[in-house]
Amino acid sequence: MKYSFLLILYLIGYSFSYNGQAAYNYAQRWANDRNPKYHDYSDEGGDCANFVSQCLIAGGLSLSDCYGNYGVGGTIPYVPNLQSCLTKKGWKSSTSIPSKGLPVGAVITFNDGGHTALVVRSGTNPLIAGHTTDVWMGSANYGYNNKYYWTSDGPGAIIWYPYVNGYNVNDGNNGYAGEFGVPAVALKVKSGKYAVHEVGGGWITASDNNVAGKGNPIDGVAVDGATYKVHLLGGGWLEAVSKYDLNDSEYGMAGIYGRVIDAIAIKGKTYASAHN
**pLDDT tens digits, 30-69:** 999 999 999 999 999 999 999 999 999 999 999 999 999 9
Strand order in the sheet with 135-139: 92-94, 147-150, 107-110, 115-121, 127-130, 135-139
Residue 6 has pLDDT above 90, yes or no: no
Residue 15 has pLDDT above 60, yes or no: no
> 129-162, pLDDT tens digit by residue?
999 999 999 999 999 999 999 986 555 567 888 8
CA angle 158, 31, 65 (to 5 degrees): 80
pLDDT at position 261 is 96
> Rounded to an integer, what distance in angstroms lies between the CA atom of residue 79 and that of residue 81?
5
Give the residue among 70, 141, 136 at the shortest CA–CA distance from 108.
141
Residue 14 has pLDDT above 80, yes or no: no
Do 127 and 137 touch, CB atoms closer than 8 A? yes
Strand 271-275 to 261-266 pairing = unpaired
Residue 171 has pLDDT above 80, yes or no: yes
Residue 10 has pLDDT above 70, yes or no: no
Give the residue among 250, 21, 253 at the shortest CA–CA distance from 152.
21
Do 115 and 147 touch, CB atoms closer than 8 A? no
Q: What is the pTM of this model?
A: 0.63
Strand 218-223 to 159-160 pairing = unpaired
Spell out the SS3 assignment of 50-100: HHHHHHHHHCCCCCCCCCCCCCHHHCCCCHHHHHHHHHHCCCEEECCCCCC
Do 231 and 169 touch, CB atoms closer than 8 A? yes
Do 139 and 127 touch, CB atoms closer than 8 A? yes
